[in-house]
Amino acid sequence: MTRKSLSILMTAMLSISVFMTACSSKSEEKQSEETQGSKTTETTQTEQADTPKSEEPFPITIMLPLNIAETPPDDIKKEVEKLTNTKLTYQFFPADTYEEKLTATFATGSLPQVTYLKNQATFMSMKEAIKDGQFWEIGPLLSEFPNLNKLKPEILNNTKVDGKLYSLYIGRPLARQGIIYRKDWADALGLKAPETTEDLYNMMKAFTEGDPDKNGKNDTIGLADRNDLVYGAFKTIASWFGTPNNWGDKDGQLLPEFMFPQYIESMDYMKKIRNEKLMNQDFLATSKTDQTSLFTSGKAGVYIGSMQDVDSLNKDLIKNVPTAVVDTAALIKGPEGQQSTWAIPGYNNVVLFPKSAVKDEAELKKILAYFDKMMTPEVANVMYWGIEGVHYSVVDGKAKVSDDKEKVEREVKGYKDSVIGEPETNGMYDPLNTLPARIHADSELIPANEKIAIADPTAALDSATFAEKGAQLQEIMTDATYKYMYGQIDQAGFEKAIENWKSRGGQAMIDEYNVSNK
């Protein structure tokens, strides 16, 4: 993202006039009536002077990505406004195009007071603007807010820029990536849950060629993937092959993941799957919506990504295939027999506070006070789970989501995705899971994943070149990775792309990260 100056946006305050009426009792005598009226007026004036006026709701405008098709209704927003004494204006934009909208809004200096990014990568690309002083530093203020002060220090440290804290984070499990697959298909074909990358390949091949739905047609594929090398299938598969998480150590030097042989092996694996037509051929042009449709329509049998997606995938799948059964799998062994997976730095998104929209520290503190209230169980539960008795009920101290999953997703998810912290810090209910595949993921696979997770060694490091050119440089290697998997370039062509990456700033990035790591 290029550095641009932001214009100062003043926030309009909401004025509410409070009218009080005084009433007096009737009297038979006019003089007594006047006297009583005088006393009543005097008393009312005294009460008005002695009683403090309630504080007016504070207006806050919030921009955030929307991961559902339609903007949610205001029911939850209104409830949150009551609980936090705020007047909230949400600016929802579709997640698929959110980065472009964020870039355009930033360039015109029109970001609102509260600006959510999209993911970790978007945050990294915003670091240049943060260093340029275009967002408020909030680290020194957190001690004034008891609930914000509960946020995990180790995760806050992963979001610091030049050692300073500018953001609040949306917490997520460290390593929730794995496989969601059609267990009924596997059972029909005599397959067990995959334990190795070879097992996974064999499952995808059988799901494509073995008529798993028993309809006598060649109309199924193994893997449904999308145009995302990180949150789609590729990065998770690469981690099973032992590829470092973004950066790794080779002979005492930090180098990018694509300079390791395991990255090449992972591309070869994906290329083989595509060449044998065991997956959607046009995955580079496939959105997440289309990817999930391949799975939920009954065409594809394997989805690789967050295992916590299983609830929504199962919900839509059984509408189309009522007899379908899903399960989750992880802890996949690579070719050398090792187990590894990649970890996020404890968050999947952050929220920033632009100086162009937040005029001074006093206004910033009022906004932080809102987030401090968000980190109470009362507010966090409303935003994350919805309204009790409508969207969820409490069973055994956990949140049981209503059977009307469409209503819950339509009315709650837009707000749910903005809750900062995690249950340990904001006190909201844990879910009462009823789907066996989700229970399997949450109680067994995700905790086990965390024990073998590969961290990104550069998460808390700094590189001026990355801040300035990271997104453009990444495009070089993303393009080369897809071309390799599509068979448009060979290994020599891929290595040529690496040299291009190094010459245009990549080598400087390597040098800077290694200096920062000392």
What pLDDT, on a 0 to 100 scale, did the predictor assign at position 170? 97
Rounded to 10°, the helix 261-275/197-209 angle is 10
Render the burial of 412-446: b for 16+ CB within 10 Å, e for the rest.
bbbbbbbbbbbeebbbbbebbbeeebbebbbeebb
Place of tokens 């909201």: 428
From CA 486, how far away is CA 227, in angstroms rounded? 13
What pLDDT, on a 0 to 100 scale, did the predictor assign at position 347? 93
User: pLDDT for 219-271, tens place per residue?
Assistant: 999 999 999 999 999 999 999 999 999 999 999 999 999 999 999 999 999 99
Q: What is the largest CA-CA distance in the chain?
A: 107
What pLDDT, on a 0 to 100 scale, did the predictor assign at position 327? 98
What pLDDT, on a 0 to 100 scale, did the predictor assign at position 14? 28
Q: How many CB atoms sit inside 10 A of residue 319's CB?
A: 12
From CA 387, how far away is CA 518, in angstroms rounded? 50
What pLDDT, on a 0 to 100 scale, did the predictor assign at position 18? 30
From CA 244, how far away is CA 235, in angstroms rounded? 10
Q: For residue 5, give the H/E element and its range.
A: none
What pLDDT, on a 0 to 100 scale, did the predictor assign at position 211? 97
From CA 409, how far away is CA 411, in angstroms rounded? 6
Rounded to 10°, the helix 377-385/361-374 angle is 80
Three-state DSSP at 111 gives coil
* β-strand partners of 58: 86
> For the chain, which residues score pLDDT lower than 70?
1-53
365, 378, 372, 421: which is closest to 80 by C-alpha? Answer: 378
Render the burial of 491-515: b for 16+ CB within 10 Å, e for the rest.
eeebeebbeebbeebbebbbebbbe
User: pLDDT for 420-476, tens place per residue?
Assistant: 999 999 999 999 999 999 999 999 999 999 999 999 999 878 888 988 888 899 999
